[in-house]
Chain A
């Protein structure tokens, strides 16, 4: 009989998890290249219910239908929709439109990122904000070769074509080695704007826009509405719990009293 109490508890925990995911989205509404997560709810543990054997007939107990045992999060689905492009005017800001990700060198392999806010390191290589090397088709991209520091005016002499080719003083240096993702799939994020590597299985269809950054794809109004919904769901689950508490109170204290 108190099965409902646990379902209400499950609902509260699930709304709490959704609130955490939503809170993370709100915290990252200005993170360049951030892709929002959606907590997807599912019912789980569907059980077939049987009527009690009260009739004594041979076919009983007989099934009367299914009922979900509880509620849970089935996935945190990352929406890969493009964010808005914001003009920054900075020569080392790159925005990707479409299904591409930059590749970044990591201690043991690569990471993928959508954040095109880049820098040069002291050796003239293109790096991300964490100082990790950005990969081009010929490995790390050396924008300024040693000894040429004096000749390149970063704000003026770097040009990037829509296909990701990097030109310095009109000379081809390298091309961004992008990875294509299938927006239908879900991806694992590891923080610092990185995605865990995966097998690329679809055609790359992107345009690189220089001097722009892709904003976060979090939609503030939509998240706020979702937050209201989470709050009311939580409140409803709480009411169910209070109701069960009342029922249990009656069972424990009133049913047994003679009087």
Chain B
């Protein structure tokens, strides 16, 4: 009896999840490289009311009355809309303007992808993300330093062109060419597995990573001394929050009404 209780319970759960997602986006409006996500909903299965011995009297030649069982969250999709770029003057801030990801190597050796290009350099010359993953480069700045644990970097700084060519500028007229930073993209970017909206891993659904050079057709360019800001839009998130909150409340209201109907039924014999 009173299946509408579970129908609206599904609504409450779905809109709660939607609010969680909005809260996460709002929390990250200032996280560099963060990709905001949106959830999408689908309706649940339908059944003919006759199957449940409800009173039905269909019109001749028309369809049987049916009712659905609620709602579920069918997808959570990260938005890969470009975030705005902010100048930082830090040599190790690399932003991608356009399509593509940096490839990073996690401590366990597996690959991940990110657009959050705020890197740090350890004393040995490895370029790392703030989470401690190293940027996958076909060259190593450590090579400049020679061998040995205590080797120090030669004086100078990293320079990256918009096409991703990396140089070591040691003050000479001709900077030392280090190598080429590559970008990666996917057929179905939405199919990537997101870890906290910053780091992504390849899946069966996303397709294999395609390698390319910054500035080539379809790939973005690298902007040194810039970071890409979060692409969460605060105004849009506030509107979404408002709507989801009302959706949640109306489902709670419907749940309470179903409960009242049940109470009326019990009061018949009080």
Q: Which residues of A contact B (CB under 8 A)?
A: 10, 12-17, 19-24, 26-32, 34, 37, 39-40, 42, 44-45, 70-76, 88-90, 92, 115, 117, 119-124, 129-131, 144, 149-157, 186-193, 220, 223-224, 227, 230-231, 234-235, 238, 241-242, 245
CB–CB B188/A120 < 8 A: yes
Contact of A73 among B56, B189, B268 (CB under 8 A): B56
A/B pair count, beta carbons within 8 Å: 248
Contact of A28 among B43, B191, B212, B265 (CB under 8 A): B43
CB–CB B212/A27 < 8 A: no
Q: How long is the Cα–Cα vector from A59 to B79 in the complex, in angstroms?
A: 80
List residues of B (184-219) whose CB comes within 8 Å of A's CBs: 185-191, 204-208, 210-212, 216-219
Task: Decide yes or no: A189 and B46 within 8 Å by CB, A20-B3, A89-B81, A117-B75 being known contacts.
Answer: yes
Which secondary structure characterizes the binding site on chain A? mixed
- Chain B nearest CB from A115 CB (Å) reads 8
Q: Does B151 contact A (CB under 8 A)?
A: no
Which residue of B has the minimal Cβ distance to A130? B74
- Chain B nearest CB from A15 CB (Å) reads 7
Q: Does B66 contact A (CB under 8 A)?
A: yes
Contact of B63 among A15, A24, A27, A186 (CB under 8 A): A186
B59: A residues at CB distance < 8 A:
42, 74-75
Which residue of B has the minimal Cβ distance to A21? B67
Q: How long is the Cα–Cα vector from A22 to B69 in the complex, in angstroms?
A: 11
- Chain B nearest CB from A12 CB (Å) reads 7
Q: How long is the Cα–Cα vector from A35 to B68 in the complex, in angstroms?
A: 12
Task: Decide yes or no: A72 and B57 within 8 Å by CB, A149-B207, A153-B98 being known contacts.
Answer: yes
Contact of A150 among B63, B80, B217 (CB under 8 A): B217
CB–CB A28/B56 < 8 A: no
Which residue of B has the minimal Cβ distance to A89? B81
CB–CB B55/A72 < 8 A: yes
Task: Decide yes or no: A27 and B7 within 8 Å by CB, A191-B45, A238-B265 being known contacts.
Answer: yes
Q: Does B58 contact A (CB under 8 A)?
A: yes
A241: B residues at CB distance < 8 A:
268
CB–CB A19/B54 < 8 A: no
Q: Does B160 contact A (CB under 8 A)?
A: no
A19: B residues at CB distance < 8 A:
4, 254, 257-258, 261
What per-residue 1/0 map shows which CB atoms of B201-241 lie under 8 Å from chain A? 00011111011100011111000000000000000000000
Q: Does B130 contact A (CB under 8 A)?
A: no
List residues of B (18-63) whose CB comes within 8 Å of A's CBs: 18, 38, 40-46, 49, 54-59, 62-63
Contact of A235 among B189, B191, B205, B264 (CB under 8 A): B264
Which residue of A has the minimal Cβ distance to B53? A13
Which residue of B has the minimal Cβ distance to A35? B43
Q: How long is the Cα–Cα vector from A30 to B18 in the complex, in angstroms?
A: 10
B205: A residues at CB distance < 8 A:
121-122, 131
Q: Does B119 contact A (CB under 8 A)?
A: no
Q: How long is the Cα–Cα vector from A144 to B208 in the complex, in angstroms?
A: 14
CB–CB B43/A24 < 8 A: yes
CB–CB B99/A153 < 8 A: yes
